[in-house]
């Protein structure tokens, strides 16, 4: 098949089962249920799945879709649905993207996407990451208080809505979709039709000329895997055991000596992979070693201390009071006032080694955020440490949720794995002592850490992340321990509230 690149050529493509490999949108509704409402709605929607499946089998797919929509969003604030669609769903859509279909879709000038899901769930991803011009889907009904009713506005006539888009133009050049789909009647409006699975005949095209989908750099939500019915059932069955295991692991970290933790953690399923040679412990002198780490989870400094078998203080800014209380290592809270923070870090370095994560916030994807240059101004004893982690069920970071639950969700995973790679201490000629600017040093450290992990460097900052995921600048306010403890009982509702 030859793709078209001429001007004014248009394509209309189905989302489910075409641009996305999976034709079943159920797992995306499960994500909305979990992230916008909580575990109870997540479980209820899973229990309704056999009914939805039965309706699809007897040819009542539209009824099954309406039931799915109702259970997932009834009573949920529209703002929460928008937040999940902005911060959570794009990552899972991107993971399911069919690249062969994307190559065809991206080669046209005007791009239209047809979806079975409510438009609010897909529009952000389709327009920003797939560069579509229009999205045709159902519209959720919202009451005057801003809550979803669970119903959609009337019947969605895909054929007529596609026809209206092209009423003043030629008919679409290409229709991409499944002929058996109830929403694919738009194909008859198109000059050509292609049905998945797609195979591009000309494999010799220049890959550099293929328009790339915009990558998902920031994403939120607690679930690692897309909750298909089988995966969702596994998550629900694991929850009670996972919560118990998390508190055992946390308690163990608080009471055991640091040297014993690596051995005991293996008995409870944890694993730490260490590469490179760490420097010797601080033995006095003008300054301790400043370990400059990539920031993957709240556990980075704790894991580093575990590997070094000594409690090394960590520089912090936006962790909760409860997390500080539960931390097995000392924490040094920063103020974001540059001269005050500089003096505080210098003072800590005179006492011994220190850990800092200059990204200022975590990033889950294989990207490094811009490094703050402050650390480079304060010492020449800089040891870069590449941190990475693997988890099976739950992410240990959040921008929209309650940060105090981050370590709990990390330890709820069956086999959390951390990889710690020590790089050589920076030579004097690579530090500010040789006349290099702090920004040059920070950028150099970012590049060598990214190269070690196989990640990409970016210029995005903490504020960029929170603007995308939470709609704020990431500023936190601290509540009392009593308030935080009362909030912790809401562990079954992962969205809870921002600190």
CA distances in angstroms from 437 to 385, 425, 430, 483, listed in the order given:
21, 18, 10, 44
Calculate the average pLDDT of the chain: 86
- Which 3-state string (H, E, C) describes the chain? CCCCCCCCCEEEEECECCCECCCCCHHHHHHHHHHHCCHHHHHHHHHHHHHHHHHHHCCCHHHHHHHHHHHHHCCCEHHHHHHHHHHCHHHHHHHCECHHHHHHHCCCCEEEEEEEEEHHHHHHHHHHCCCCCEEEEECEEECCCCEEEEEECCCCCHHHHHHHHCCCCCCCCEEECCCCCCCCHHHHHCCEEECCCCCCCCCCCCHHHCCCCCCCCCCCCCECCCCCHHHHHHHHHHHHHHHHHHHHHHHHHHHCCCCCHHHHHHHCCCEEEEECCCCCCCCCCCCCCEEEECCCCCCHHHHHHHHHCCCCCEEECCCCHHHHHHCCCCEEECCCCHHHHHHHHHHHHHHCCEEECCCCCCCCCCEECCCCCHHHHHCCCEEEEEEEEECCCECCCCCCCCHHHHHHHHHCCCCCEEEEEECCCCCHHHCHHHCCCHHHHHHHHHHHHHHHHCCEECCCCHHHHHHHHCCCCCCCCCCCHHHHHHHHHHHHCCCCCCC
Query: For the residues 473-485, what does the mean pLDDT come to?
Result: 48
Judgement on whether residues 368 and 426 belong to the same structural domain of the protein: yes
pLDDT of the residue at 492: 38
Judgement on whether residues 336 and 408 belong to the same structural domain of the protein: yes
Determine contact, residues 464/368, Cβ cutoff 8 Å.
no
- Residue 160 has a CB neighbour count (10 Å cut-off) of 11
Judgement on whether residues 202 and 249 belong to the same structural domain of the protein: no
Distance CA 58, CA 65 (A): 13
Q: 499 lies in a domain?
A: no
What pLDDT band is residue 498 in, cutting at 50, 70 and 90?
A: very low
Judgement on whether residues 146 and 279 belong to the same structural domain of the protein: no
Over 90: is that where the pLDDT of 286 sits? Answer: no
pLDDT of the residue at 495: 43
pLDDT of the residue at 323: 72
pLDDT of the residue at 490: 39
Distance CA 392, CA 407 (A): 15
Judgement on whether residues 157 and 281 belong to the same structural domain of the protein: no
Over 50: is that where the pLDDT of 486 sits? Answer: no
Q: 141 lies in a domain?
A: yes
Q: 106 lies in a domain?
A: yes
Judgement on whether residues 47 and 181 belong to the same structural domain of the protein: yes
- Which 3-state string (H, E, C) describes 65-134? HHHHHHHHHCCCEHHHHHHHHHHCHHHHHHHCECHHHHHHHCCCCEEEEEEEEEHHHHHHHHHHCCCCCE
Tokens of residue 57, six digits: 């089998």
Over 80: is that where the pLDDT of 18 sits? Answer: yes
Judgement on whether residues 123 and 246 belong to the same structural domain of the protein: no
Judgement on whether residues 243 and 203 belong to the same structural domain of the protein: no
Judgement on whether residues 74 and 197 belong to the same structural domain of the protein: yes
Query: For the residues 360-367, what does the mean pLDDT come to?
Result: 93
Distance CA 14, CA 109 (A): 17
Q: What is the pLDDT of residues 295-321, one digit of tens each?
A: 999 899 999 999 998 899 999 876 767
Q: 215 lies in a domain?
A: no
Q: Which of 166, 192, 209 is the last residue of a domain?
A: 209
Tokens of residue 411, six digits: 């330890």
Over 80: is that where the pLDDT of 436 sits? Answer: yes
pLDDT of the residue at 7: 54
Domain count, the chain: 2
Determine contact, residues 120/85, Cβ cutoff 8 Å.
yes
What pLDDT band is residue 166 in, cutting at 50, 70 and 90?
A: confident
CA distances in angstroms from 126 to 89, 102, 332, 486, listed in the order given:
11, 11, 42, 39
Parent domain of 188: 10-209
192-194, strands of its sheet edge to edge: 134-138, 110-118, 10-14, 174-176, 192-194
Q: What is the pLDDT of residues 122-145, one digit of tens each?
A: 999 999 999 999 999 999 999 999
- 168: domain CATH number is 3.40.50.1000
Over 90: is that where the pLDDT of 43 sits? Answer: yes
Min mean pLDDT across 225-229, 243-247, 255-259 is at 255-259
Q: What is the pLDDT of residues 60-75, one digit of tens each?
A: 999 999 999 999 999 9
Distance CA 481, CA 84 (A): 28
Q: 217 lies in a domain?
A: no
Judgement on whether residues 20 and 62 belong to the same structural domain of the protein: yes
Judgement on whether residues 47 and 128 belong to the same structural domain of the protein: yes
Q: 497 lies in a domain?
A: no
Q: 2 lies in a domain?
A: no
Determine contact, residues 91/216, Cβ cutoff 8 Å.
yes
Q: What percent of the chain has pLDDT over 70?
A: 88
Q: Which of 171, 190, 209 is the last residue of a domain?
A: 209
Query: For the residues 40-46, what does the mean pLDDT come to?
Result: 97
Instruction: Name the burial class of residue 131, with classes exposed (0-12), middle (13-18) and buried (19+) by CB atoms within 10 angstroms of its CB.
Output: middle
Q: Which of 188, 209, 230 is the last residue of a domain?
A: 209
pLDDT of the residue at 201: 44
Judgement on whether residues 167 and 278 belong to the same structural domain of the protein: no
The count of residues in the chain is 499
Determine contact, residues 249/416, Cβ cutoff 8 Å.
no
Over 50: is that where the pLDDT of 497 sits? Answer: no
Distance CA 273, CA 381 (A): 24
Q: 173 lies in a domain?
A: yes
421 versus 193: which is more confidently predicted?
421
Q: What's the CA angle centered on 389, arms 300 and 455, to 5 degrees?
A: 100
What pLDDT band is residue 157 in, cutting at 50, 70 and 90?
A: confident
């Amino acid at each position: 098949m030859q793709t078209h690149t001429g001007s004014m050529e248009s394509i209309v493509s189905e989302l489910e089962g075409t641009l996305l490999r999976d034709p079943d949108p159920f797992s995306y509704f499960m994500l909305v249920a979990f992230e916008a409402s909580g575990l109870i709605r997540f479980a209820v929607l899973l229990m309704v799945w056999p009914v939805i499946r039965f309706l699809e089998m007897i040819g009542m797919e539209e009824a099954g879709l309406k039931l799915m929509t109702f259970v997932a969003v009834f009573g949920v604030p529209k703002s929460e649905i928008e937040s999940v669609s902005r911060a959570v769903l794009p990552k899972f859509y991107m993971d399911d993207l069919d690249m062969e279909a994307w190559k065809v879709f991206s080669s046209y000038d005007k791009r239209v996407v047809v979806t079975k899901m409510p438009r609010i769930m897909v529009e952000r991803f389709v327009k920003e990451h797939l560069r579509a011009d229009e999205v045709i889907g159902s519209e959720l009904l919202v009451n005057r208080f801003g809550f979803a009713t669970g119903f959609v506005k009337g019947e969605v006539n895909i054929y007529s809505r596609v026809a209206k888009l092209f009423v003043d133009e030629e008919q679409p050049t290409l229709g991409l979709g499944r002929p058996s789909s109830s929403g694919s009647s738009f194909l008859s409006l198109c000059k050509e039709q292609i049905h998945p699975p797609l195979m591009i005949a000309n494999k010799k095209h220049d890959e550099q000329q293929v328009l790339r989908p915009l990558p998902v750099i920031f994403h939120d939500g607690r679930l690692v895997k897309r909750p298909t019915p089988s995966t969702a059932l596994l998550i629900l069955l694991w929850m009670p055991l996972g919560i118990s295991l998390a508190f055992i692991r946390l308690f163990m970290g608080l009471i055991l000596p640091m040297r014993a933790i690596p051995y005991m953690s293996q008995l409870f399923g944890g694993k730490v992979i260490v590469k490179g040679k760490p420097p010797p412990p601080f033995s006095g002198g003008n300054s301790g070693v400043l370990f400059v780490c990539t920031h993957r989870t709240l556990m980075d400094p704790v894991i580093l201390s575990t590997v070094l078998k000594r409690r090394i203080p960590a520089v912090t800014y936006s962790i909760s009071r409860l997390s500080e209380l539960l931390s097995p290592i000392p924490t040094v809270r920063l103020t974001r006032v540059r001269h005050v923070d500089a003096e505080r870090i210098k003072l800590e370095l005179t006492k011994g080694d220190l850990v800092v994560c200059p990204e200022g916030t975590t990033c889950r994807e294989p990207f490094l955020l811009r490094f703050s240059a402050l650390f480079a101004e304060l010492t020449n004893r800089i040891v870069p440490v590449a941190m990475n982690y693997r988890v099976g069920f739950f992410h240990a970071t959040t921008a929209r949720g309650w940060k105090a639950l981050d370590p709990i969700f990390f330890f709820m995973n069956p086999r959390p794995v951390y990889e710690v790679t020590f790089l050589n201490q920076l030579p004097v000629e690579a530090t500010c002592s040789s006349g290099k600017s702090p920004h040059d040093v920070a950028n150099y450290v970012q590049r060598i850490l990214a190269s070690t992990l196989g990640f990409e460097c970016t210029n995005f900052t903490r504020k960029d992340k929170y603007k995308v995921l939470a709609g704020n600048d990431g500023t936190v306010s601290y509540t009392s321990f009593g308030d935080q403890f009362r909030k912790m009982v809401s562990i079954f509702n992962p969205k809870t509230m921002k600190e």
